[in-house]
Amino acid sequence: MAENGSQDHTAIPAQGWLRPLAALDGLIARLEAAVLAAGVILMAVLSVANVIGRFVFGQSIFFAEELNQFLVVLITFFGIGYAARQGRHIRMTAFYDAMPDRARKWLMVVIALITAAAMFVLAWYALAYVQSVLDTGRVAPALRVPVWVTLVWAPVGFVVTGIQYVMTAVVNLTRPEVYVSSSVIDSYDDSPTEV
Amino acid sequence: MTATMLGVMIVLLLLGFPMMVPLIAGSFVAFFVYMPIPPEIMVQQMIAGIRPSALVAVPMFILAADIITKGHSADRLIDLVMRFVGHLRGGLGVTAATSCALFGAVSGSTQATVVAIGSPLRPRMLEAGYKDSFTLALIVNASDIAMLIPPSIAMIIYGVISGTSISELFIAGVGPGLLILVLFSVYCVIYAKRHDIPVLERASWAERIDAVKGALWPLGFPVIVVGGIYGGIFSPTEAASVCVVYAVILEFVIFRSLKLAELVEIAKSTGLITAVVFILVAAGAAFSWAISFNQIPQQILGALGLADAGPVMVLVAISVAFFIGCMFVDPIVVILVLTPIFAPLVSGAGIDPVLVGVIITLQVAIGSATPPFGCDIFTAIAVFRRPYVDVVRGTPPFVAMLVGVSAALIFFPQIALFLRDLAFR
Amino acid sequence: AEWKFALEEAIHEVQGVYATKFKEHVEANSDHTIAIFPFGTLGESADITELTQLGAVQFANASPGFMGSEIPELNIFLMPYVLPENPAVLADFYKTSPTINETLAGKYPDQGLELVDMYPEGEVVMTTKEPVTSPADLDGVKFRVMTSPLLVETYNAFGATATPLPWGEVFGALQLGMIQGQENPMFFVESTKMYEVTDHITYAGHNTFTTAVIANKAFMDGLSDEDRAVVQAAADAAYDYIIDYQQGLTESAEAKILEAKPEMTVTVLTDEQRAPFRAAADRVRQKYVEMVGDSGKAVLEGFEADIAASKERAGES
Ligand code: NA
Ligand code: NA
């Protein structure tokens, strides 16, 4: 859960042929952060505009509910990748914390690989789901946009999250410290942190 | 099969997997081993799980709490309470508990309360001589009160799922919330006496008036939420967004305590927490759907022979089931899974669904502060940077008091229903 | 085999009564069994439609008003003053209308679905805080509607401030005065206690809530001729039963409401009072044709012709 001031950074060493990959990873991190912030702020603005519209102007924003639902999906699926990158996914660490470093490291590799596998399987199912919605040609009643456009962020989010967990396994195998995510070392320090 | 599934989930949980993995693994078993269903449905149900529009209140309250904690509003509200009770034995502890209740009136979320009240108060309590284990346990458990005092995310979700009036739930939560506040306050006083915690100097009335003046703007939060909801201007869900806008106006325009760049940073961190919580809501929804589709709850309840149970037995069963469920799974997920399962028993026994909602909310509140799984525990771990065991060490006396309140509610429903009946009947 | 039937309503409401009859008939006349999943147990309307498309459940209620996002023409069922106001004409219309049973039914297979049956659930009434006898009475009234552009258009045309709101918030919003009105069929007003938080019920005859039973297409195609006949016969039996059952359902719901709340006023608008509402409905027709296009126009005209035929059969001119 530590951030260690390393947010938005990538675990890929920015050298040689990996450089474009590192740049891409950094770009994705920034995009995720931007979507999270914009999504949350837009949600607040939209709800309050709806209140003002209804109360002051007697006119509700008829698409507010649909757009908010879309934003929730967007935030959730952009956020899970970002949370994986920051090592922020909620875990029950009582037993894990009690283990020695070496055991924690190997356990983390196993956890990361199994989690990555689960994410990739879900990405596959999510793609199948989006495809089935695409086939029906369903259109959101108020926003009048194809419904699949609002759902396609699910497979994307699962793939990005899966990749983050693969990278977590890789950094644990290639570096001496225990990593809870591709960019965060597993330790408690005394500096206060954001939540 | 059900036992195998739960066994796998518990092992994955205890090994330290991200919480979503045990839920997803449970769904895999339920969807593809138990009774093969097209795999798309698992994702359909995950997304359906985060679709209820009431869930929008979660990110909004977290955002508002984060803004007022980073700014001045939270500090000023705490100062106000301390000027009045700081000189009393255990006053700081009582302040923490009371602040949680006050903050509960503006936030719907226990996690937001841990952040907003814990961040400014914990250093002051440590300074005053309270042990960290007591301080952490008090903050984490007193945050339960936030869930019982309106608005409450747990009640919104229960209301949506069970079709129960959310406003009646809100009013019914106030009584038990205040009862818990009183119990915790008494415990704080006893603790302070036993550990001989020094008191603050009694504030003069001039200082108190100063504090009231300083807190005038932040006191607008409860006024706006209560006035707005009960004045018919906005829904409880929209109240959360109105709080955000009020918080932005206070901290960025009136107090000028924050810069616009910080708002972006806070919004990003809100989005992150939202995603972390909602992916669990989503995974829990898919899991609960599979359980419902396979009619497992009916089998388990059939085996328990509760079909013709009386009201007390049903309420005890609900309390125990939700308590155990919340020990392991995110509270919101537990509401999503268990509420529909118990619905037939509740209507069969002729129990007021509002009472059930309050009892469930209390269990869920207890669960969110109780090991092994507890989102408040995790929030505390994240905010205060303390390992798991430190955060949970001081919890047993608090949990005991909360369980006592649960029992009292079953036998004296009027604790919850009195205010509701006064307002609506 | 066990077939699954998912509903949009509770087991004791109209859809539950239909499904129970359907189940009884199927189980009495074949080796198959039916498990009924009432509202909420498998998801909301959109969810159970998808579950039927994906084949996880075999049968479901998919009210055409909720299926407009898949088959836009179905939005016609949300429009005011399209369906006949006389119940006998209405019952005949669903059964005989070629526009429903051929044109609209022909659009379901593209969605992987088959239309099994369509039936009414009762006249939609307005329940409000203040009495309503003309569009002027709705001026400034925040009126809750489902999230649908046509319903928003309808109530704006009626003079109200159409306010889309999730169902879960409606009771509280009425109670605290955030909204001052909502519409639903009478039995639903009774079962969901909407009358506790409003004071006036108005029959304006503007709509009848229509629901449809759909089935997974691959499942239906895979049935033996014998099983198909059993399904068809079960649907016919359930249709007749539900039409009978509804005789007086609205009245009995009204009686229950008046018993629980004697001060509730119930107003049936006269033809004269309905005229301005009918006139306002024109705007909604234009919106429908604009949204759905030529095929929408054809369906609208088809409905008018079919309803005229039904009226003739029912001896109404
Ligand atoms: Na609260
Ligand atoms: Na817990």
Three-state secondary structure of B13-73: HHHCCECHHHHHHHHHHHHHHHCCCCCHHHHHHHHHHCCCHHHHHHHHHHHHHHHHHHCCH
At residue B85, the pLDDT reads 78
Residue B358 has pLDDT above 80, yes or no: yes
At residue B189, the pLDDT reads 93
**With contact defined as beta carbons under 8 Å apart, do B402 and B141 qualify?**
yes
CA–CA separation, A110 and A60 (whole Å): 51
At residue C228, the pLDDT reads 96
Confidence band (pLDDT; 50, 70, 90) for A161?
very high
Amino acid making up residue A130: V
What is the per-residue pLDDT across B387-418, written as a single tens digit (0 to 9) for each?
Answer: 777 888 899 999 999 999 999 999 999 999 98
Q: Under an 8 A CB cutoff, do A36 and B264 touch?
A: no
For residue B105, what are the CA distances in angstroms to B17, B220, B229? Answer: 34, 11, 12
Q: How close, in Å, is residue A139 to chain C by CA atoms?
A: 5
Q: B253-259 long-range CB contacts below 8 Å, 24 or more apart?
A: B254/B217, B255/B71, B255/B72, B255/B73, B255/B217, B257/B70, B257/B71, B257/B72, B258/B67, B258/B70, B258/B71
At residue B159, the pLDDT reads 76
A181 and chain B: CB distance < 8 Å anywhere? no
Nearest chain B alpha carbon to A65: B53
Residue B107 has pLDDT above 70, yes or no: no
Residue C129 has pLDDT above 90, yes or no: yes
What is the per-residue pLDDT across B255-282, written as a single tens digit (0 to 9) for each?
Answer: 998 998 999 999 998 899 889 878 887 8
| B54 vs B310, more confident | B310
C-alpha count within 13 angstroms, C-beta hemisphere, residue C40:
20
| A92 vs C210, more confident | C210
What is the per-residue pLDDT across A60-119, written as a single tens digit (0 to 9) for each?
Answer: 888 888 999 999 999 999 999 999 998 888 787 778 888 888 899 999 999 999 999 999
- The pTM for the full model equals 0.83
User: Among B48, B235, B424, whose Cβ lies nearest the Cβ of C173?
Assistant: B235
At residue B100, the pLDDT reads 81
Under the phi-then-psi rule, with left for phi > 0, alpha for psi from -120 to 50, and beta for the rest, what region is C140? left
Q: Which residues contact A178 (CB under 8 A, 6 or more apart)?
A: A101, A104, A105, A108, A172, A185, A186
C163 and chain A: CB distance < 8 Å anywhere? yes
| A124 vs B310, more confident | A124
Return the number of other C-beta atoms located less than 10 Å from residue A174's C-beta: 10
At B197, list the tokens. 């915690």
* The Cα angle at residue A38 between residues A37 and A41, in degrees rounded to 5: 85
Query: If we measure between CA atoms, which residue out of A138, B324, B316 comes closest to residue C50?
Result: A138
Place of tokens 């980073």: B70
CA–CA separation, A63 and A66 (whole Å): 5
Chain C interface disruption, residue of B226, B235, B420, most C CBs within 10 A: B235
At residue C171, the pLDDT reads 81
What is the per-residue pLDDT across C265-294, written as a single tens digit (0 to 9) for each?
Answer: 999 999 999 999 999 999 999 999 999 999
Nearest chain B alpha carbon to A131: B40
Chains in contact with A, where contact means 3 or more Cβ–Cβ distances below 8 Å, are B, C
Average pLDDT, rounded, for chain A: 85
At residue A140, the pLDDT reads 87
| B56 vs C97, more confident | C97
For residue B163, what are the CA distances in angstroms to A79, A122, C91? Answer: 30, 31, 31
Looking at chain B, the whole-number percentage of residues with pLDDT higher than 70 is 92
C43 and chain B: CB distance < 8 Å anywhere? yes
Least confident interval from B6-15, B37-46, C90-99, C213-222: B6-15
Residues of C in contact with A144 (CB under 8 A): 149
Residue B89 has pLDDT above 50, yes or no: yes
Average pLDDT, rounded, for chain B: 84
Confidence band (pLDDT; 50, 70, 90) for B106?
low
Confidence band (pLDDT; 50, 70, 90) for B294?
confident
User: For chain A, which residues make up each domain, given as ranges?
Assistant: 17-185
Q: Under an 8 A CB cutoff, do B44 and C50 touch?
A: yes
Chain B interface disruption, residue of C5, C129, C169, C174, most B CBs within 10 A: C169
Most confident of A32-41, A85-94, B284-293: A32-41
User: Among A36, A65, A107, whose Cβ lies nearest the Cβ of B272?
Assistant: A36
Q: How close, in Å, is residue B235 to chain C by CA atoms?
A: 7
Which of C 27-56 lie inside 8 A of A, CB atoms?
50, 53-54
At residue C39, the pLDDT reads 78
